[in-house]
Each structure stands twice: as structure tokens, then as C-alpha cells.
Amino acid sequence: MALPLKKAALRQHLHPSSWARFLFGPASRGDYSAPVIHKHDEFETASEAELAGFEVETDAHGHHYAVRKEDLPKEQV
């Protein structure tokens, strides 16, 4: 009887979620009613500036692709 209990305890101890809890600690729970605050960092600002030079085009089949604004004809810009 002791051997099956020992195997069950060992199997439970080695469960992946047990290891995750052991390594990283319990999951932290925040305030669910608080609004999510998204802060822009330098990387996001640089990415937005770089992507501002592109225009999204759609072809006759509904495929979307990006075109640089300087490559578009003057009347489309």
C-alpha cells in the first residue's frame, strides 16, 4: 500500500504545473477592475514613425500589401 501512495505523491510532485509554481512562484493576480495602461517606449515610437511611410493597398483578389508612399503615384498620396 505504501508503494502506490509514494508513486502517486511522486507523480503529483513532478507535474509540469507543479514545477512551474515551484520555479516561478504562485501566479500573481492583479486588480481586474483597474484599466490597462499601455506606455509607449522608444522602440514603439520608432516603429510607428517607420510604418508611417507605408500605405496599405488591396488588390482585386482581396490581398493586402504595403507600398512605400514615395513609390505611389502623386495623385494617390
Query: Model confidence over 15-25: pLDDT tens digits?
Result: 667 777 777 87
Q: What span, in angstroms and rounded, lies between the C-alpha atoms of 62 and 1?
A: 66
pLDDT digits (tens, 9 = 90+) for 3-55: 665 666 556 555 667 777 777 877 777 777 888 888 888 999 999 999 999 99
The mean pLDDT value of the chain amounts to: 79
pTM: 0.41
Of residues 58, 76, 74, 56, the one with CA closest to residue 66: 56
3-state class of 69 per DSSP? helix
Cell triple for residue 12? 503529483
User: Do the beta carbons of residue 24 and residue 35 sit within 8 Å?
Assistant: no
- Report DSSP state, residue 53: T
